[in-house]
Amino acid sequence: MDTPPPRRPTLAEVAERAGVSRSAASRVINNAQYVSGAKRKAVERAVRELGYVPNPTARALVTRQVGAVVLAVSHDDPAALADPFYVQVMVGVSAALSKSEFELMLVLADSQQGQQRLQRVLRSGRADGVMIVAVRGDDLLGRLSGATAVPVVYCGRPLGAEPRWYVDADNRGGARLATEHLIGTGRRHVAAIIGPLDTEVAVVRHSGFREAMAVAGLDPGMVEAGDFSEESGAAAMTRLLAAHPLIDGVFAASDNMAAGALRALRAHGRSVPGDVAVVGFDDLMISRHTDPTLTTVHQPIRQLGHEMARMLLAVIDGDDPSPLILPTRLVVRDSAPATAH
């Protein structure tokens, strides 16, 4: 009986031997971009050791194959992706990837099910890198960079951590600018509506507020927390008015919460900016359509996504970029004009 021909090694076996994803092995074999020198050498060594020779049909399939990167959002509600912040981040990511050969996979990874899905994607070798947005507290995503072989880039630092690669905005400086503006226009009873303190962004914006108040010798203790939503901003503003009726200025750590604060102030008969001046943070589209229009801190949200994706592509290609902090700036509108109170 004839001896069957030896089985050809597969691309998946090459990838496993080299310790890379299947798509990375594919790109090496096809001499494509975005493969680090170390990965290229590992794949070439695995090809030699296994004697891998793609047949024409397999090579055609491989040539059509592209890599993939994951955008993981620490949220389990798809409706949250309608938030303008996430929309702008995704627009920036997509723009940066548009000229690359990578496909984008979106994973909502706040729930246990979502985190298990992300783990399956990473174990399958389908992903060459991960971008992570909106990490909270003791979130698994905050520890992911030490638990996977693929590169991980964060949009904003995880709480209490300093990952190797991240892109962030100057949240502390922006909050300080907002508070200094309120103080500079004569406000002396300035309150803050901060975000959830299991997020780094909320902690550092709160710190910026407290720093500006301390420099001015003012009480930084008028603080209530929200969850960055408009509803939570309205509720926090109502609590602040009940506890501190002399408030004449408010820094809200997001535009959505600032819009809620404006609504609550109107409901309680306070004029803005006559009685109370309000400053937000983000410079979302809503800031141009509130009544009055919202003075706010501009952060380059689309650029955050764009630079995060560019950083990930650089890491995949073998570079080791430094973390990047993007500047923020104050945008003065009607809710806190630049005139003395």
Q: How far apart are CA 199 and CA 95, in angstroms?
A: 27
Note whether 51 and 147 are same-domain residues. Answer: no
Cβ(150)–Cβ(144) below 8 Å: no
243 lies in a domain?
Answer: yes
Burial class (CB in 10 A: 0-12, 13-18, 19+), 337: middle
Inter-helix orientation angle 22-29/37-50, to 10°: 80
The answer to whether residues 129 and 73 belong to one domain is yes
- In this structure, the answer to whether residues 183 and 270 fall within a common structural domain is yes
295 and 201 in a common domain: yes
Helix (H, G, I), strand (E, B) or coil at 331: strand
Same domain flag for 25 and 102: no
Residues 231-244 have a mean pLDDT of: 98
- Is the preceding peptide bond at 323 cis, omega within 30 degrees of 0? no
In a domain, 47, yes or no: yes
Q: In CATH, what number is assigned to the domain containing residue 60?
A: 1.10.260.40
For position 83, what pLDDT does the model report?
80
Number of domains in the chain: 3
Q: Is residue 29 part of a domain?
A: yes
Any domain includes 3: no
Query: Which tokens hold the place of 265?
Result: 């102030």
Q: CB–CB of 279/258 below 8 Å?
A: yes
| pLDDT for the residue 174 | 98
Angstrom distance (rounded) from CA 300 to CA 294: 17
pLDDT, residue 122, reads 78
307: enclosing H helix or E strand: helix 301-316
Q: How many CB atoms lie within 10 A of CB 59?
A: 15
pLDDT averaged over every residue in the chain: 86
Residue 224 has pLDDT above 70, yes or no: yes
Q: For residue 171, give every residue at least 6 positions away whose Cβ sits within 8 Å of its Cβ, in sequence order, or none.
A: 201, 204, 205, 208, 281, 299, 328
Residue-range definition of the domain harbouring residue 160:
67-168+301-326
Contact yes or no for 69/34 (Cβ under 8 A): no
Rounded to 10 degrees, what is the CA torsion of 62, 319, 165, 113?
10
Do residues 240 and 293 both lie within one domain? Answer: yes
Q: How far apart are CA 134 and CA 89, in angstroms?
A: 11
For the chain, what's the residue count? 341
**pLDDT average, residue stretch 52-74:** 64
Q: Which helix (H) or strand (E) holds 251?
A: strand 249-252
Residue 185 CA to chain centroid, in angstroms? 33
270 assigned to some structural domain: yes
Give a yes or no: residue 334 inside a domain: no
Indicate if 252 and 192 belong to the same structural domain.
Answer: yes
Q: How confident is the model at residue 61 (pLDDT cuts 50, 70, 90)?
A: very low
**Selected residue with higher pLDDT from 297 and 148:** 297
Residues 57 and 88 in one domain: no
- Residue 218 falls inside a structural domain: yes
Are 195 and 126 contained in the same domain? Answer: no
Same domain, 252 and 309: no
The pLDDT value recorded for residue 18 is 86
Whether residue 185 sits in one domain with residue 265:
yes
CATH number for the domain that contains residue 148: 3.40.50.2300
**pLDDT for 66-107, tens place per residue?**
578 999 887 766 776 778 888 999 999 999 999 887 889 888
How many whole angstroms separate alpha carbon 5 and alpha carbon 187?
A: 85
Q: Cα(278)–Cα(262) distance, rounded to whole angstroms?
A: 8
203: three-class secondary structure by DSSP:
helix
5 located within any domain: no
Average pLDDT in the 166-175 region? 97
Indicate whether 262 and 288 sit together in one domain.
Answer: yes
Q: What pLDDT does residue 6 have? A: 62
